[in-house]
Copies of this chain bind each other. A is one copy, B any other.
């Protein structure tokens, strides 16, 4: 009920932000500020002001990595005395921020102000006695806090707040959505429920930092950075942590020692290819994680893949992790999405909505296959936003034009340059509501001539397909690759059919009537698998509308290609 009006809804949303402490602003910039501001204001113009404050991708990464290095994770007893834990920790240094979360018991993430506090803590921490189990004495930043006499401790405190690390089930989401004022608000609620929280982002960077400890043991200049969903502002709670090992400045030293008649070089293992070196290093680090890393389980080496990687589950943080070696283009993709995500709050809300919708309807799947990937889907949303009039986000070519010397990146012969300073990008003049954008998205792609045209984000234009893949989305950087090559014709047609069905639902439904009947309306109605609704109205709707109704809808959408669409609708 409270969510019906903008004010209390905002309060609730802000409530979830409350815990994150001094770091919250950083996160708000990263992803949440828009979500918080929009349900009430919903005036994209505000983004201009936000834009001037926003940090570059690199700045955020550096700050987060630094933060993670000052952070430890502590497993706590179920009835932990928060004050006493903090009091104990403060003897090792100032605790800058902390939060608790549930993951195989209660855990506390503790961020110290100074990295040296960790050494002080580590020095005081004991090794588990080997009476029952023998341990591998690898000293990490993962600790267990126990009460010696649990019974004698008075539990006087209010229960600790647990920061959620996964999103609510779709069923619960639908209930929440039904309480909203309008579809735009529904979309922001969805974004707010699904997007990474400040706490979850900290935990992701900590996971990387803990893996970095393994790599640094042998390669002190190396670092482990997250990429993809953890940093591109489009990550969903519960998504995997993609991380890569970066040998930062190994190139730096190569130029030293150039003066004088001598050269002094390290003796190093030489290998015939960089790929082999990558495989060897990942293999050993995988073994180290497997054998020494507390809570590193199910370590799988997938070294013969195009991009060799090590998969493992990191139980202390609860993440499924993929560790690979620095992939410059993947990082550029992360930054590009970061920029688009920061430019206008509608971007992320629409992407999260479309991805949730696609998942519900079986258009995406976490397993590899012929499904459309989340990345492809996100690119389709971006393209759609480039095509609005006026455009909501610039084309990649426009971002490249704004790039200066330090933004120059030529990777493997591809020009991957684009502006990094968000302030240089002019805010959009487009003021369409999210509701309008959602409807228009379904109509746009329900109507798109996939047979002839491809999606090109660099130019922001529909371009003739260079080859016959059913769905052709130009890789933004490796321009000769199609990022959706895996999608087959039936999957594409399913997407088109769902888009049309959704456009139809949004246009035809009567919100007031549905709310009176306590039936899902708006976005909520779109998140119920078509034909599986428990609501009698929904069942009636699905029964009532036959292929004839759809055909008349198709006519109203002025389709160019009646044949393929009929086929699609027939599915």
A interface residue numbers (CB < 8 A to B): 74-75, 84-85, 88, 121, 124-130, 133-140, 142-149, 152-153, 214, 217-221, 247, 250-251, 253-257, 260-274, 276-277, 280-281, 283-284, 287-288, 291-295, 316
Contacts and interface: CB of A to CB of B under 8 A. Distances in A.
A272 B147 contact: no
A269 B147 CA distance: 21
A250 B75 contact: no
28 contacts: A85-B262, A88-B264, A125-B264, A125-B265, A126-B254, A126-B255, A126-B257, A126-B263, A126-B264, A126-B266, A127-B268, A133-B272, A134-B270, A134-B277, A135-B269, A135-B270, A136-B269, A136-B271, A136-B277, A137-B266, A139-B220, A140-B266, A142-B266, A145-B263, A147-B263, A148-B262, A269-B294, A288-B288
Nearest to A222: B137
A125 B256 CA distance: 7
A295 to B, nearest CB: 7
A283 to B, nearest CB: 7
A149 B261 contact: yes
Given A257-B125, A267-B75, A280 B136 contact: yes
A220 B316 CA distance: 23
Contacts of A250: 127, 137
A153 B144 CA distance: 62
A144 B250 CA distance: 17
Copies of this chain, count: 2
Contact of A145 (B124, B128, B262, B292): B262
By Cβ-Cβ distance, the 3 closest A-B pairs, closest first, are: A217-B217, A133-B270, A142-B267
A143 B262 CA distance: 12
A265 B146 contact: yes
Given A145-B263, A268-B135, A253 B125 contact: yes
Given A125-B253, A133-B270, 4 more contacts: A84-B261, A84-B262, A125-B266, A267-B316
A290 to B, nearest CB: 8
Contacts of A265: 125-128, 143-144, 146
Most buried by B among A135, A254, A266: A266
Contacts of A316: 267
A138 B268 contact: yes
A124 B254 CA distance: 10
A28 to B, nearest CB: 32
A264 B145 contact: yes
A434 to B, nearest CB: 44
**Best-buried of A145, A255, A284 by chain B (most CB within 10 Å):** A284
